[in-house]
Amino acid sequence: MLVFKFGGASVKDAEGVINLSKVVESYTGNQILVVVSAMGKTTNALERLTDAYFNGAEDMHCIFEEIKDYHYHIIHQLFGDNHPVFNEVANTFVEIDWMIEDEPHDDYDFIYDHIVSVGELVSTRIVNAWLNHTGITSKWVDVRGYIHTDNTYREGVVDWEKTKASIQKDIPALLNNGIVVTQGFLGGTSENFTTTLGREGSDYTASIFAASLAAESVTTWKDVPGILNADPKLFNDTVKFDELSYQEAIEMTYYGASVIHPKTIKPLQNANIPLLVKPFMEPSAAGTVIKEGAVNKFDKPVIIVKPKQVLLSVATNDYSFISEKLLSEIFSVFAKYQVKVNVMQTSALSLSACIDYKSDRFEQLLAALQAEFKVRYNNDLTLYTLRHYSDEAVNNLIGDKTVLVKQTNRNTAQLVVK
């Protein structure tokens, strides 16, 4: 039994959906569960729609119409003017119509999950319809009935026991009758509210299903030839890894490597299931395999770039030392607003913390910290992380940039620069 995950880039247009069906068809004879992300940049567009709705922006309906038109154009290219999937997609978009008719009353994260989740629901309707149209028997499944989470919106925490029980109860029988198509990134609460698992969480969805079903492997289909040592859009002369160990992959994702969601690896490692990262336009290529016992070879350092960073400096109002007790108080605020610290340093009188900039959470975090501490910050920064670095690589990367924070250990160097 195989689990395939197709990201947004692989289904950004009609040609991508057609290619997906050809990839699936090339594995005829296998049981396959297909996890699909939102099409193209739909998640970004739905995030803009969420902001527009929450803030009462005038362009809210224009944004929504553009999202719908984009999907209807793909459907038209695939099926012509008359196919049941038009109604299926229209009925899915109605979930947003109902919400934005009224003023926002719920908190932002709750609204975010209920609007942004529609991207995956729509993309999987289209993919499922196309597979059946081409003669590949396929069943659409609503993942919210199988991946059960708590009520932590935008970062749903999976109830593994309940999730495994639900998946094992129904999915094997469905796989006996054809392909199963479901959504990445989404979960459901006990009250039947929608949650998301964190940005780029479709990889995590695939690993949850694979671990629950004891899959042979997970393959995530990307627009790159495999896992590279750096983003080819930012760096020349990147190199592909043929294989990586689970440990190295976990380290890379922890520091922000966007090719795999950070939570993906652990369930696969626990079940000893390999993860393959392969190019969707060249499905026969070897790609990269992440597995137990892999030999890691690093001819060049791994470079991970995180833009849109904020460097906070938190100090007491009375020049007290930053003691363990005060650190605990500060980090309880970070935890309350679900803000991850990417790099931190302490001195006698202050704590410096580098975080991702997310406007809503940052404003809440800043207000809460300022109630008890003196807070200064720099924004529009970039965090560079180099795994298996050399001094030469660090110096070449810094160039004429202003370095605000630099940390190094035996394997990893991190630089916060302006």
pLDDT digits over 382-394, tens only? Answer: 999 999 999 999 9
Stretch 111-137: mean pLDDT: 98
Q: Which two tokens stand for residue 203?
A: 């990889």
Looking at every residue in the chain, the average pLDDT score rounds to 95
- 50-62 pLDDT per residue, tens: 999 999 999 999 9
- What are the φ/ψ torsions at residue 404 (nearest 5 degrees)? -95, -35
pLDDT at 261 over 90: no
Whether 364 has a pLDDT exceeding 90, the answer reads yes
Whether 267 and 208 have beta carbons less than 8 Å apart is answered as: yes
- CA nearest to 351, candidates 378, 317, 327: 327
**List of residues 6+ apart from 130 with CB closer than 8 A:** 17, 18, 20, 21, 78, 79
pLDDT band at 202 (very low <50, low <70, confident <90, very high): very high
Please say whether the beta carbons of 123 and 37 come within 8 A.
Answer: yes
Q: Does the pLDDT at position 319 exceed 90?
A: no
Provide the percentage of residues in the chain whose pLDDT is more than 90: 91
Lowest mean pLDDT among 109-113, 130-134, 260-264: 260-264
Predicted TM-score (pTM) of the model is 0.91
Helix axes of 108-116 and 85-100: crossing angle, nearest 10 degrees: 170
**Strand pairing category for 288-291 and 243-245:** parallel
Whether the per-residue pLDDT at 379 is higher than 90: the answer is: yes
First-to-final CA distance of the chain: 48
pLDDT at 316: 92
Tokens 């137990």 correspond to 292
Q: Is the pLDDT of residue 47 over 90?
A: yes
pLDDT-derived band at 6, boundaries 50, 70, 90: very high
Burial 46-85 (b: 16+ CB within 10 A, else e): bbbbbbbbbeeeeebeebbeebbebbeebbeebbeeebeb
Ordered DSSP codes for 246-258: HHHHHHHHHTT-T
Q: Which of 183-187, 235-239, 294-298 is most confident?
A: 183-187
Number of other CB atoms surrounding residue 205 within 10 Å: 29
Give the pLDDT band of residue 176 (cuts 50, 70, 90). very high
CATH 3.40.1160.10 segments of the chain: 2-291
Q: Which candidate, 303, 201, 296, 321, places its Cα nearest to that of 246?
A: 296
pLDDT of residue 308: 96
- Token duo for residue 87: 């109604």
Q: Is 346 helix (H, G, I), strand (E, B) or coil?
A: strand
Q: How many Cβ atoms are within 10 Å of 400's Cβ, its own excluded?
A: 4
pLDDT value at residue 200: 82
Q: What is the pLDDT of residue 105?
A: 87
Q: What is the mean pLDDT of residues 156-166?
A: 98
Indicate the range of 179-183, 197-201, 290-294, 345-349 predicted with least confidence. 197-201
- The H or E element spanning position 313 is strand 302-315
Residues 321-362 pLDDT 10s? 999 999 999 999 999 998 999 999 999 999 999 999 988 889
pLDDT at position 341: 96
Residue entry with tokens 């336009």: 281
User: Where does the pLDDT of residue 69 fall: very low under 50, low under 70, confident under 90, or very high at 90 and above?
Assistant: very high
- 25-46 mean pLDDT: 97
Checking if the pLDDT of 238 tops 90, the result is: yes
Per-residue pLDDT averaged across 17-36, rounded?
97
From-to residues of CATH 3.30.2130.10 in the chain: 302-417
Domain spanning 2-291, CATH class? alpha beta
**What integer pLDDT is reported at residue 211 of this predicted model?**
98
Helix locations, 26-159, DSSP H:
42-55, 60-79, 85-100, 108-116, 118-133
- Fold topology of 302-417: VC0802-like (3.30.2130)
Count the alpha carbons within 13 Å of 399 in the hemisphere toward its beta carbon: 6
Rounded CA gap, 65 and 67, in Å? 5
Q: Are 264 and 345 in contact (CB under 8 A)?
A: no
User: What mean pLDDT comes out for the span 20-47?
Assistant: 97
- The answer, yes or no, to whether residue 178 has pLDDT greater than 90, is yes
Structure tokens given for 296: 């890691």
Determine the Cα–Cα distance for residues 266 and 249; give it in Å rounded to an integer.
Answer: 10
Question: What pLDDT does residue 170 have?
Answer: 96
Q: Which residues contact 233 (CB under 8 A, 6 or more apart)?
A: none
Q: Compare 198 and 146 and report the one with higher pLDDT.
A: 146
